[in-house]
Structure 1
């Protein structure tokens, strides 16, 4: 059974833990607690610190958009879906920016078809 004297101490400990967790979250979070985005320079600094802490080579934050779009395209995700995720106003923007990826995918598709047709003949 707990004494009444222990309760303020437990409350204080919980409070301290909550503050420490909040500070740790703020160091790794890429947005404010109310979900407003950080200013671009703040975001860049936080992102670079996260990369440093993870031992990952430095890349620009914006490069993540291109990496994401490229990986999604290579996995067969529809260009319209990628356009929406990236926030492009027109599909033409997405198609133009990622044309090189689409060309590689077309070459792969042709090679796959060729292999399939050659295998069936034998």
Structure 2
């Protein structure tokens, strides 16, 4: 995402435009090259209202980038991307993954793929009562049932909740 094109922290509520631009590494004979393209589905471009904490974190992050830009001076590359290195250059997805793993190791937690956060978020939304079609729309799926079929992973506690609902239906 780019600050100017995809993030509006002044909107009420603050918003992001998700899915419009993706960056991935394509591996070939010369190594990995970053490729930019649009999302995979027709529903990819969507404006999402940001939770207030996420908006606050983005504001803090943007202020940090401004300080890094001042410190770097002419060496700073104003790429406009949200996720950049200290010199303003867009980072490769493998750099982000390695950095996340370093932070997980330092925190003493097991390593998980960054993509698993998507599964966790969609599961949390669904298990918190957000209807399946809305969860799928949030994720940018073309098929509004895909979140339930692929991304939502009910826990043992979720199953106990279903049992409690059935208990109420059947009477005790």
TM-score, with length taken from structure 1: 0.54
Structure 1 SS opposite 2:148: helix
Once the 2 structures are TM-superposed, how far is the Cα of residue 118 of structure 1 from its aligned partner? 1.5
Q: Which runs of 5+ in 1 are unaligned?
A: 1-17, 24-29
Structure number with the higher strand fraction is 2
CA distance, structure 2, for counterparts of residue 100 and residue 66 of structure 1: 8
1:32 and 2:50 are equivalent in the alignment: no
Once the 2 structures are TM-superposed, how far is the Cα of residue 55 of structure 1 from its aligned partner? 2.0
Structure number with the higher helix fraction is 1
1:106–1:57 Cα change, 3 Å: closer
What does the per-residue CA deviation read over 1:26-80, in whole Å, with 9 as the maximum and x for residues that have no partner?
xxxx8116x9863221111111112122222111111111111111111111223
What does the per-residue CA deviation read over 1:4-34, in whole Å, with 9 as the maximum and x for residues that have no partner?
xxxxxxxxxxxxxx56xx79xxxxxx8116x
CA distance, structure 1, for counterparts of residue 106 and residue 166 of structure 2: 45
Report the counterpart of residue 98 of structure 2 in structure 1.
45
CA distance, structure 1, for counterparts of residue 152 and residue 121 of structure 2: 15
Q: Which runs of 5+ in 2 are unaligned?
A: 1-66, 73-81
Q: How many residues align?
A: 93
Once the 2 structures are TM-superposed, how far is the Cα of residue 117 of structure 1 from its aligned partner? 4.7
Instruction: Choose the corresponding residue for 1:76, options 121, 129, 146.
Output: 129
TM-score, with length taken from structure 2: 0.41
Report the counterpart of residue 107 of structure 2 in structure 1.
54
